[in-house]
Structure 1
Amino acid sequence: MPVVTIHLMTGYDAATRRRIGTALTNAVAGVIDAPPEGITVMMPEMDPASYMRGGAPRQPGAPRPDPAELVRRFLETMEARDLDAARAMLAPGFTMTFPGAQRMTTLEELVAWSKPRYRFVRKTYERFDSLQDGQTAICYCFGTLSGEWLDGTPFDGIRFIDRFEIEGGRFTRQDVWNDMAEAKARSA
């Protein structure tokens, strides 16, 4: 069974080491037909003072934020309509695409677009799937929508998937798919 060794400078917390171990296990399982329990990841630590590159001592890189935690916080911030806090999480050039290929670049556009569709919507999360592609973190969020149509009729159990791209801890892109149009047609 595969054994992966990565040398880390001392100082990474347990949560960061756990994320590294999970990511390496998943990377190996994606290439080699091995069950996760058969993949060993070893992370010996070394004193940063004993490491040099180019003749100069180096410091360990900071851990990236967990993409799933960023996505959850962003979606909860949007649900609370705290647009200033949500806007602070967006990178310059942020774009979002919603059902019907509706492309928007500001949160205000999203609020205006949703206004004639429903009174409010809430998300129930089933799962978050994250991966890294170079400097871009990609996170998929799966779950169901509940809320109220404009006439006050409640709805729930509507499937959704959101896909986010994150660079430097800020959102660069969001793509949204859901069954809201189908559910609305059934309720009419």
Structure 2
Amino acid sequence: MPIVEAHILEGYASEEKSRLTAALTDAVRFVVPAPDEAITVMLHEYPKEAYARGGVHRAPAPALPKPDRLVLDYLAAMEARELERAEAMLGDSFVMAFPGTAPMTALAQLVDWSKSRYRFVKKSYEAVEAFNSGGAAIVYARGTLSGEWLDGAAFEGIRFIDRFEVVGGKIVRQDVWNDIAEVRAQ
């Protein structure tokens, strides 16, 4: 039965501590073949006054946003064409790759590129999955696309997968795979 103990400073909300214990449980399961109920995670909280680094008392760092929630908020802003809101969720080195085009670094590029493909597109999600890898949160969103072609004809049920990298609470990469070109060619 694995037991994990973590020491944190006071100041994190209950929801943030729950996220931390769930993430530590997931980390153990990645290596040890133990069911959830066999993994114990204990958080030890210390008052800010009991901690100093370099002789200076420090406050805890703010918790990062949930990466899957950040991605869903970004995708909702994009669907609503609230580009300023979406851009606020992007890191300085943001890059996105869509099928059939070179990588883009600005949302306006994506909007211009999509004008020759369809009038609008909406996403229905089957799953959104997040995990940590090499200092980045990786988020996969998958499901189907629906919308309207340039001629006004409706489409639906087109598969997609979006992969995001989130670093420091900002989206730095988006990779998109979908079957829109194959369906449009029919």
> What TM-score do you get using the length of structure 1 for normalisation?
0.91
The equivalent of 2:165 in structure 1 is: 165
Matches of 1:93 and 1:21, distance apart in 2: 31
1:1-38 superposed Cα distances (whole Å, 9 cap, x missing partner): 11111122222111101110111111100011111222
The whole-number CA distance in structure 2 between the counterparts of 1:128 and 1:37 is 24
- Partner amino acid, structure 1, of 2:164: F
**Which residue identity lines up with residue 67 of structure 1 in the other structure?**
P
Backbone CA RMSD of aligned residues: 1.6
User: Counterpart amino acid of 1:119?
Assistant: R
Partners of 1:102 and 1:37 in 2: how far apart?
47
> Counterpart of 1:61?
61
How far apart, CA to CA, are the structure 1 residues paired with 2:100 and 2:117?
A: 13
Tell me the amino acid that sits aligned with residue 138 of structure 1.
I
Aligned residue in 2 for 1:102: 102
For residue 123 of structure 1, give the secondary structure of its aligned residue in structure 2: strand
Q: Which amino acid aligns with 2:145?
A: L
Distance in 1 (alpha carbons) for counterparts of 2:101 and 2:108: 17
Deviation at 1:169, TM superposition (A): 2.0
Residue aligning to 1:5? 5
Letter in 1 for 2:160: F
Query: Partner letter of residue 36 of structure 2?
Result: P
Could you say which residue in structure 2 is the equivalent of 1:22? 22
| Deviations 1:69-119, CA, capped at 9 Å, x for gaps | 110111111101111222222222311100125311111111111111111
Identity of aligned residues (%): 53
- What TM-score results when the alignment is normalised by the length of structure 2? 0.92
* Count of residue correspondences: 186
1:129-140 equivalence runs, <5 A? 129-140=129-140
Structure 1 counterpart SS, 2:85: helix
Deviation at 1:138, TM superposition (A): 1.8
Partner secondary structure for residue 11 of structure 1: coil
Structure 2 unpaired stretches of 5+: none
Unaligned runs of 5+ in 1: none
Deviation at 1:134, TM superposition (A): 4.6
Is 1:177–2:180 an aligned residue pair?
no
